[in-house]
Structures are given as C-alpha cells and as structure tokens.
Structure 1
C-alpha cells in the first residue's frame, strides 16, 4: 500500500466555477519517495499539496488517503505525520526566539521539558542553526528562516514533508544549500518528500515528477525521464534546465554528450573527464 494515495480527486474553490482547480487527479507516492510537482501558474500545484495536507475540504473522503486513512475519520493522527514548509517562512513563526519557535509544536504535544530541550537542540544542530537559537526569527536571512522552519518540522518526527515553493524566495546558492539539506534529512530519517516548484532545475533532487496543467495530470514519470524530454517541458509552459540548453549548444557544435546526463553536476563531471582525456 502506498503511503499517499490520491484517487479521482476533484476540487473547486467556488461551486459556481466552471473549471475544476483539480480535475480527476489520481496518483500514488510510496514511502521514501521524493515527488516533484511542476507546472505553469494556475495549474493547481499548491491546491494539490493543500489537499494532501488536509487544509481544504474534500467531498469524497477517499480521494486522499494517508497510509490508508482519510482525513474525515483520522485528521489529527494524519496531521501528526505531516509537516509543511511554505514559500514564506515568516507565516510559520509564532515565537520571539528561534529556540522557542522550534519548541512550540513540542509544547503542544506536552513533551517533557528536558526531553523537549534535547530535541530542540538536536533539530537546530541538524539544520545548522543552533548558534542562532536566541535570535529573533525576523532578523534571519531567508535561507536561515527556512532552516528554522524545517527544524520545527523535524522536531515533531513526521513521515512526510511537503514543500510548497519553499525555495522560491532564495538566491541560487541558498536554493542549492536548502535542497541538499532536505536530501540529507530525507536520507537520515527515511522521509517521504513532496515538493512544489517552478524551478525545473530542482527536479533533479527527486526521483519522480508529476506535471500539472489546468488542474489535470499531464505526465508522471521518473524525474530523469522528464528532464530529458525538452518538448514535454516546452509544450507545458516549463523552462528547460540550463544544462539541457548547454548540451543542445554542444551538440550543435558536433560534440557528442551522453544522453544519460541529467544534471549540471553530471555535465560538469563529464566535461572535466573529457578534458583530461584529450
């Protein structure tokens, strides 16, 4: 049984709307998987993630099942297994210091104070923010804020982390740093990740990718296959990753590049190896 099962999900924001925000969406996510959700603006990406997180009401209770359970019957138990990082971390902060903010969720679960203190310390160290424990969240950089938000989620030991445009406000280096951190945490705790992104370059961090357009699933396939299909990306209003453009230019110059290359890192490694051999 899949950890996340979405079956024939239909959703409208207004009953008078002529178009569904989500139109007969069906897919599964296995435990330990990282699924990227991409698509043009207005395609339904954030709505889909909100449905998975139980933030919007769904008429058919079996349209979204988490570990075989529906929100209508087991909402609290399901939500305890899911953490979400939003686009703007300021919307998630409620305490005056970093340490207190990470501790907030644990306090709500009535965790013993000494145990809570240990968990907060471990969580902040894991994301590299322990030295900022006494800082005010509003004084942190965007990347630091996202790390603190992530620490707050990790402290609650979820099985699933949802990222709703979590890196969109970060600079390129900040994005890479955040994504590498998420990858490290995913591997450490065997988490299941669903990430919504406009940046096709981020897809290489996931093993599966789902393309949405006008509330419908256009394609769901291994991320490497999606990244190699330039026509599919262009046709659905998505940019082609920079390294794919570079590969195209190399091929125009009659330079053969292996078709298996699906990331900037792999292309750079191949270029260096090719240079050493000539």
Structure 2
C-alpha cells in the first residue's frame, strides 16, 4: 500500500503541474483530454533491421479514441510541453514496472521514451526526475530516455550533468534528432549509446539533408534507429544507409497503453511535492 501511495503522490504532482501550465487554447484542450484519462502512451516495437526481432518498445503520448493524434502537434506552451514530457517519462516508468512484475526476465524490453532535455533541466523537471528515481530505481533501469538536445551552447554544462545522471540510472542513453541537425559536434563529444532519427525520404531535399548526418554517424560508429518507416522500400533504403533498428506503421500498429487514473477523492487527499 505504501508503494501505491507513492505512485499516487507522483501522479498527483504531475497532474498539478499540467494544470498549472494552461496558457493557450490548445493547452486547455489537452488538459480536458488529460482529465478524461484520454492522454495515453501508444507503444510500438523497435525492430532489428536484419532479423526484424523486437528489441525495444517505443512510446509516445497520443490522444483520441484510437490514440490517433500526437499531443505535440498542437500549439502548446513551453510549460505544458515540459509537463507532458515528464508525464510521459512517468508512464514509461510505470510500464517498466508492469513488465518486471508480469513477464519472465528474458521477455523484458527496454522502453524508449523521447523527452526534451530542457524539460529535465527545468527546475520542476529536475525535481520530478529526482522523485521518479527515488520511486523505482530498478524499473528506471529498463527505461531509455531519448533526449532531444536542441538548446543553446550556454546550457551545455547543465546538459552534460544531465547526461551523466541518465547514464548512471537509465538502461541506456539515446539522442533523438531531426534533420537538419545542429548538434553533431556535441554528439561527437558526448557519444550516445544510440541515435534515433525522425526522418523522411519523401523528397530529394530530405534525402540530401540526411546524407551528412549518416556520414557523421558512420564516421563515429554510432548505431542509429530509423523512425516513421512507412514501407518495405523505405526500410531497404535505411538498411543500406546503415540503420541498425527501425519502427514504423507498415510493420507495427501503435498499441494504446493505459493505467488507472486517480479518483477525485484520491487527488484531494494528496499533496504535490513540487517546491514553490
């Protein structure tokens, strides 16, 4: 029961954080969906490009009756985006604990969760991360944060400290990048365990923008994951370019994951732990 209460308190803390950062109409739309327990993870297998074996599980926040809309496609305030990222990290921790308690150790997959590094450098994000680590260190070992590292150079010292912390507690450390990428030099200095690319091969411009990044990854022997793979033909191209893993709609439909929400009575009976 004590462990349940700690989880309830963590969820209460994140709920209050989301409620406190409603600044736009889309923020309010997301808050309404959250209160209806309609903001959920969808989970998609990340597979080996050669064998198609499932190696990781990739999770992202969606809403809608079939989880068809990404929460990040809306015009959200920075505070709301950060709060949702923290909620997503917490859901990944819950999913990890569920796996540990349910499946044989040989069947466990690490859970990859994209998160803006700025959300964890934010004071309230730093506090939330501390709480999650204290909550379940073993489950955190099966979580892989895929850090989005778009930030000015002046923030790099704090980012380096965050990276060290993630390496100490998480299952691995990935960087989540898009094209064009302005962070190649930082990546060279702080080699991640893997890079996840949100890319497209739809146009000649997209393909040309991808090539310098692929050359960089090959030069520094960084394994990378191709995301949003739409067809077998695209997968073949990514394999030739050097991708080690992939995920996409043509192979795996995202599956919605849900956990029991707190009741109003439970919410009223708990005090959030964020400092003012």
Is TM more than 0.5 here?
Answer: no
- TM-score, normalised with respect to structure 1: 0.34
Tell me the TM-score normalized by structure 2.
Answer: 0.34
